[in-house]
Structure 1
Amino acid sequence: NHVRAFENTLVTKFFGLHCVKLTGATQKKVRFVIMGNLFCSEYIIHRRFDLKGSSHGRITDKPEDEIDETTTLKDLDLNFLFRLQKSWFQEFQRQVDRDCDFLEQERIMDYSLLVGLHFSETSTSADPQIGEAVIDYGNQREATPRLSRVDMDQFLCDPTRWATIRLGVNMPARVEPTQRSDCDSQLIGEPTGEFFDVVLFFGIIDILQDYDISKKLEHAYKSIQYDPTSISAVDPKQYSRRFRDFILKVFREDT
């Protein structure tokens, strides 16, 4: 069992499959699953991204002035690089490889990495190193408090925090905003050199789609119209390789 073998797996956890029988004339049965919630936290999720590593159709259909904390953004909306501490980044690399190998063996594709960002709130102290940073979300610019490096180090050294931190959950990290060129299909923009302290949440979701006949037909049809490497519906081996290559470019070691 993959989940039992790797406690840090990023794959969505299912806790039960249930069925209830509704009362009334129809006596209809409703089946449902109980899954883990990546964003069940005391922290507010300020930005959320659903990342696959493909570009065709991978952009939100919301106007920029309607994008808010509840909007799930996609690959072409991504305007950050995620930077993890060395030990966490190394474990992240290993676990992404393990999870992708598992999903490939199970002939699963079309999954994605769901990422949530909480921008750290400022300390109440009068530390002059703490300032406000302006973060650009497309055309939206919001003043977001930023922790100093001293405060972040104190956060990491606080033993009471360790029990709540694990891979993909409550992870202190930094993000670096990026800027894209005029190329609409550019997945990863150029780093700006500016950094913001965040708490990260992430995991692999949508893991029930196998490469069945409908997906094979979708691949054949869309490959005629679009670049075959840009579409989501591809063979699990190709999907796994593209997914991990992309994820390990947007997640980097914090130096």
Structure 2
Amino acid sequence: MLLNHEHAQTRRLGNCTASQTTHYSILNSYHFLYTSLISPSFLCLFFSAQINELSHVQIPIMLMPDDFKAYSKIKVDNHLFNKENMPSHFKFKEYCPLVFRNLREKFGIDDQDFLNSLTRSAPLNSEAQGRSGARFHTSYDKRYVIKTITSEDVAEMHNILKKYHQFIVECHGNTLLPQFLGIYRLTVDGDETYMIVTRNVFSHRLSVFKKYDLKGSTVAREASDKEKAKELPTYKDNDFINDGQKICIDGENKKMFLEKLRKDVEFLAQLKLMDYSLLVGIHDVEKAEQEDVESEDNEPEEDGESDGGGIGTPPDSPSNTLDSNKPLSPGEFDPAIDVYAIKSNDSAPRKEVYFMAIIDILQHYDAKKKAAHAAKTVKHGAGAEISTVNPEQYSKRFYDFITTILS
């Protein structure tokens, strides 16, 4: 059984369920996993009425215990409009809608902007693949990540949600933990797909040239040859060490980063969570500037005027309107959007921007993990730095390793 509150009452607000617009938003965005034929103009028209209705609804200031068990559903049968793009029968479920709306507020995310990011244009495919074959998409403006998850992940998220919410409230959203913004289930022809939406760790405008997934473990922690063949491989701990890589940030940023990291890993240890990683993305400012110059040199001259009606950038895409009132220099970023970004210090060998956040926190230290720990200990020895260890040991080793890579 996925959830122990499957029959919980759906909270209703006016004539629509809580965050019903978000339902439709994610549904249409995520449907690109099945088809890429949905018209963005259709989405804009479809959601405008929903947003207007919900905007008149007063959202309660205080969350109640039932809000952490609540859900709302949409069920569509014999759906005929635009049926070549949409299935005839589907169901869509949003978990704990008011809780996640409150979390978005704590993270400084406006609901209107959130909906626009997920619905204005098709999500972008990612070549990345996570645990258990998880698939990733980013919103068209690259601000949010849509990831498929398992029913076990959904259950674990429900187990930690109340404490996670409390932690986010107490730290005022100032954390390296994933910013969970919504959990959903889409059912098409009896097949259930679960998904979670988070803020993107990386920037919407500064490209990442190298990335690492760091656990503080050295056993089997190298990128495979298959991984290295990708356009942007995910390297691991031993690769980081062998590259002689360092995160060069100033003393004040280092102090703030480590304080957040310490609180975050202590929280994860309290919840008996382990096997998480620090995702590190590195933007090379000079390399990006050089690529921009080369790109401009290779651009063909335009003949005549363009009406912007082609398939490329939509009229209201980030390249046209994002931060239009705040021009940014190379290597600069808006900290309200790129919340995980830190500039390199003045003595760094290269001018860089680092994006660093904790990911994959839903692994509970259960009997299966204990068995894996025992097996790896037998294979590699008691002193080996294997990744499967108890949460307290994992958090300490993780924190200690991260302190060594900062300079």
On whether the aligned pair clears a TM of 0.5, the verdict is yes
Q: Which amino acid aligns with 1:30?
A: T
The separation in 2 between residues aligned to 1:72 and 1:175, in whole angstroms, is 27
Equivalent-residue separation in structure 1 for 2:402 and 2:358 (angstroms): 11
Give 2:366's match in structure 1, choosing from 187, 206, 212.
Answer: 212
2:183 pairs with 3, 6, 17, which one? 17
Corresponding position: 1:224 with 2:378: yes
Displacement after TM superposition at 1:165 (Å): 6.5
- The one-character-per-residue Cα deviations of 1:39-72 (angstroms, maximum 9, x if unpaired) are 24211100000000001110011179x5565100
Indicate whether 1:89 and 2:260 are aligned: no
Q: Displacement, 1:32?
A: 1.6
Aligned to 2:218, the other structure's residue is in SS state coil
Count of aligned pairs between the two proteins:
196
- The 5 Å alignment of 1:236-247 reads 236-247=391-402
User: CA–CA distance in 1 between the matches of 2:395 and 2:375?
Assistant: 21
CA distance in 1 between partners of 2:231 and 2:192 (Å): 35
The question of whether the paired residues in 2 share the 8 Å contact of 1:82 and 1:175 is answered with no
- The aligned counterpart of 1:136 is none
Using a 3 Å threshold, how does the CA distance of structure 1 residues 81 and 32 change in structure 2: closer, same or farther?
Answer: same
Query: How far apart are the structure 2 equivalents of 1:115 and 1:236?
Result: 22
Aligned-pair CA distance for 1:30: 2.2
Structure 2 runs not aligned, ≥5 long: 1-165, 291-328
Relative to structure 1, the CA distance from residue 207 to residue 20 in structure 2 (aligned partners, 3 Å threshold; closer, same or farther) is: same
Partners of 2:286 and 2:192 lie apart in 1 by 46
User: Which residue is equivalent to 1:42?
Assistant: 205
Offset of residue 219 of structure 1: 0.4
Determine if contact 2:202/2:338 at 8 Å carries over to the other structure. Answer: no
The CA distance in 2 between the partners of 1:232 and 1:162, in whole Å, is 34
- Superposed CA deviations along residues 83-124 of structure 1, whole A, max 9, x for unmatched, are 211111110111111001000000000001000000012779
Question: Which residue of structure 2 lines up, in the alignment, with residue 5 of structure 1?
Answer: 170
* Greater displacement, 37-46 / 210-219: 37-46
Partner residue of 2:264 out of 99, 107, 110: 99
1:130 is matched with none
Q: CA RMSD for the aligned pairs?
A: 2.6
Per the alignment, residue 277 of structure 2 pairs with: 112
One-letter code aligned to 1:85? D
Q: 1:117 to 1:44 in 2, by over 3 A?
A: same
**CA gap 1:8/1:67 in 2 versus in 1, 3 angstroms:** farther
Separation in structure 2 between the aligned mates of residue 40 and residue 162 of structure 1, nearest angstrom: 8
**Paired residue secondary structure (2:248):** strand
Unaligned runs of 5+ in 1: 125-157, 177-193
Give the deviation of 1:175 after TM superposition: 10
Which of the residues 164, 168, 182 maps onto 2:335?
164
Larger Rg over CA atoms: 2
The 1:251/1:166 distance shift into structure 2, 3 A limit, reads farther
Residue 164 (structure 1) shift = 2.4
Contact 1:109/1:210 (8 A) holds in 2: yes
What is the alpha-carbon distance in structure 1 between the residues aligned to residue 275 and residue 178 of structure 2? 14
CA distance in 2 between counterparts of 1:119 and 1:55 reads 26
The alpha carbon displacement at 1:168 in A equals 5.7
The 1:105–1:37 alpha-carbon spacing in structure 2 relative to 1, beyond 3 Å, is same
CA shift in 2, pair 1:166/1:27, >3 Å: closer
Identity %: 31
CA contact (8 A) 1:168 1:202 kept: no
In structure 1, C-alpha distance between the alignment counterparts of 2:270 and 2:337, rounded to whole Å: 26
Relative distance call for 1:168 and 1:60 in structure 2 (3 A) is farther
Hey, what does 2:218 align to over in structure 1? Answer: 55
Say which structure is richer in strand.
1
More helix by share: 2
> 2 CA distance for matches of 1:63 and 1:30?
27
* TM-score, normalising length: structure 2: 0.45
